[in-house]
Structure 1
Amino acid sequence: MDIEQQFFDVYMEVYRPYVNRANRILSTYDLYSSQWLILKDIEKHGKTSAVDVSRRRGIEKPTATKVVKHLLELGLIESSTGEDRRIKYLTMTHRGETLFTEVGTQMNALQREMLGDIDHEALEHLIDALKRIRV
């Protein structure tokens, strides 16, 4: 087996179980990993548009719209119109911030558990290698 093929096989062996475990945590909050990633993006960037979120996350605009709608319905984010009335800006609500902190603690614990005893330097090398993959 080629090393490249081996890399992606191992990556998928880690990715799917991680998403499944994350979804078990998130489902108690009526969330799933795709929604959590958009919530994280809004938390990280502050006031932002759905178009910018979909571009940064690499997801189709209709998918982002559906996820944003769910987050709005849950009261985790709010939408406001900017100077250009065609653009709607998204921000996290107080409820969203509270939930983000609570869920973030659980997600961080899951990630630490899954990474086990991999040291900081090894993680930095893995992060650097993953960032260099062209998609």
Structure 2
Amino acid sequence: MRIEQEFFDAYMAIHRPYINRANSILSTYNLYSSQWLILKDIAKNGKTTSVDVSRRRGIEKPTATKVIKHLLELELIKSTPGEDRRIKYLTMTGKGKHLFDEVSDKMNHMQREMLKDFEIEEVEELIASLRRMNI
């Protein structure tokens, strides 16, 4: 087997189990990983638009719109019109911030547990290598 295939096989072997673990935590909050990643993006970037979220997350705008609608229904984010009424800004609500902090703690614990057998330098090398891929 070629090394490229081995690399991507190894990546795929951890991707789905990671998503499953994340979803087991997130489902308690009526969220899934795709919704969590958008909520996390809004928490990180502050006031933003759905176009910016979809660009940063690398997803199609209709997909982002569907996820954002769910987050609005859960009252985790709010949408306010900008000066140009065609633009709506998304921000976290108090409820969203509280949930984000609570879920972040649980997600961080799960991630620490998954990486417990690695030295910090090994994790830093993996991060640097993955970022160099520039996909």
Give the TM interval when normalised to the shorter protein: over 0.9
In structure 1, what is the Cα distance between the partners aligned to 2:48 and 2:89? 5
Aligned-pair CA distance for 1:134: 3.2
Query: Which residue does the alignment assign to 2:68?
Result: 68
Q: 1:34-88 CA deviation, whole Å, 9 max, x = no partner?
A: 0000000000000000000000000000000000000000000000011111110
Structure 1 length-normalised TM: 0.98
Q: Any unmatched runs of 5+ in structure 1?
A: none
Matched, 1:42 2:46: no
In structure 2, what is the Cα distance between the partners aligned to 1:19 and 1:118? 20
Q: Report the identity percentage.
A: 70
Aligned residues: 135
In structure 1, what is the Cα distance between the partners aligned to 2:133 and 2:15? 16
Structure 2 length-normalised TM: 0.98
SS in 1 for 2:118: coil
Aligned-pair CA distance for 1:120: 1.1
Q: Any unmatched runs of 5+ in structure 2?
A: none
In structure 2, what is the Cα distance between the partners aligned to 1:123 and 1:134? 18
Deviation beyond 3 Å, 4+ runs, structure 1? none
Query: Which residue does the alignment assign to 2:33?
Result: 33
